[in-house]
Amino acid sequence: MKDIYQHKTIVVDLLCKAFDTNKSVNYIINQDSRRLQRIKKLMEYSVDVCHVYGNIYLSSDNKSCALTLFPDQKKTTIQTLLWDIQFIWQITGLSRLKAVLDREAQIKKGYPANQPFLYLWFIGVDPAYQATGTGSTLLSQIIEDASHVNKPIYLETSSSDNVRFYQKFGFEVYNQLQFGYTLYAMRKIR
């Protein structure tokens, strides 16, 4: 896989467009006058983490991208602590921190305890190019990559349309969490 990190700006811009109105993203973002800047910071944070502990995917036409993470490989380092401090300070704000941590704890209860897995953190398509197959192509690549390393894939989505999209690829809903919106926890075991 080519190094996509050099295209960080393109990936961040795509994710900002794709997740601007996303319920799950907006749940963790402090909803103030800097909301759009906070979404951008979230996407920059996510790209940085996946660059070190996962993979970054970008379609050849630069219209879709995805971020995957190998949670079992993520280590606590000075760098990750700095990223987490920035996450709190620039993205959630202290006022949202408890709600965000509680949400993450509920989500993590559904993950396998002793089995490594691939986490599909974000897959985003430029809104002008949705339903053109570019997201499907990326998801197929992610599924193939997970198969090569023999790992199940876990993800969450707050969109019922996305649930149907993922189900076409063999994902199942294994839990529905309520946070003022429904968050569908999904997985593809094989």
Q: What is the tens place of the pLDDT at every residue in 1-50?
A: 446 878 899 999 999 999 999 999 999 998 889 999 999 999 999 999 99
Kindly give, in sequence order, each residue whose CB lies less than 8 Å from that of residue 61, ignoring residues fewer than 6 positions away.
Answer: 129, 134
Q: What percentage of residues in the chain have a pLDDT greater than 90?
A: 78
Q: What stretches in the chain show pLDDT beneath 50?
A: 1-2
> Residue 3's pLDDT is what?
62
What does the alpha-carbon distance between residue 151 and residue 63 come to, in Å, rounded to a whole number? 27
Tell me if the pTM is above 0.85.
yes
Residues facing 65 on adjacent strands: 58, 124
Residues facing 64 on adjacent strands: 125
What does the alpha-carbon distance between residue 75 and residue 6 come to, in Å, rounded to a whole number? 23
The token pair at 166 is 């993922």
Q: How far from the centroid of its chain's Cα atoms is residue 42's Cα?
A: 10
> Residue 57's pLDDT is what?
95
Kindly give, in sequence order, each residue whose CB lies less than 8 Å from that of residue 91, ignoring residues fewer than 6 positions away.
Answer: 28, 29, 30, 38, 41, 42, 45
